[in-house]
Amino acid sequence: MPANMVFTLTAGIDEAGRGPLAGPVAAAAVLIPAGQGIPYLIKDSKKLSEKQREEMYAFITAHYLYGVGQADNIEIDRLNILQATFLAMRRAVAALQEKTAVEMCLVDGNKIIPNLRIAQKAIVKGDAKIKEISAASIVAKVTRDRIMRELHVQYPQYNFAENKGYCTDWHVSALRQYGRSPAHRKSFTYPGEFEQRELF
């Protein structure tokens, strides 16, 4: 693309949930309309408390244009986590495009999204540098956390409400005791899994 090209409809893209043992990977695409304010708490979601993320999620979804997408654990196992993440991102962009035109996508990380027919640029640590990406990181994180709380109701023995599917000691202990739930990623392993299998 020409170096001097100016894009006015620019969306930030980010994801949440690449590392957990269970649940989907979620992605968000956020476009900040011209003239809208940007609260100082719109920053990398990892730098915010859960309460702050919920507050900023409410602000973003009320004042900005956004789309969300996800790829579930079955798609993660079938495609691999990287390709499933790209799929979730494409779905998020498609959801945003239902609300507005998008001229440019700024993607958190070092890879652009394959098969996306929109100009795009990958930005390492973009969630700490670009407000659109920061907002996307918040929407993706809150979206996924809410899904994991819903899964906790179905599978309380794994404590998803607290660990969000990540590899905590409690979660690993539950996996050793109960095995995997339908929400778990079969292609991901947990500490001691193979040693446990050898006992049976």
The residues spanned by each domain of the chain are: 10-197
| pLDDT tens digits, one per residue of 23-62 | 999 999 999 999 889 999 999 999 999 999 999 999 999 9
Taking alpha carbons only, the member of 60, 35, 73, 74 closest to residue 137 is 60
pLDDT at residue 195, as a whole number: 54
Percent of the chain with pLDDT over 90: 88
pLDDT at residue 5, as a whole number: 53
- Supply 48's token pair: 């915010």
Q: Is the pLDDT of residue 15 over 50?
A: yes
The whole-model pTM stands at 0.92
pLDDT at position 200:
30
Residue 198 pLDDT > 70: no
Domain 10-197 fold is: Nucleotidyltransferase; domain 5 (3.30.420)
Q: What is the C-alpha separation between 112 and 141, in angstroms, rounded? A: 20
Q: pLDDT tens, 58-95? A: 999 999 999 999 999 999 999 999 999 999 999 999 99
Q: What pLDDT shows up at residue 115?
A: 96
pLDDT tens across 124-142, in order?
999 999 999 999 999 999 9
User: What local confidence, expressed as pLDDT, does residue 196 receive?
Assistant: 46
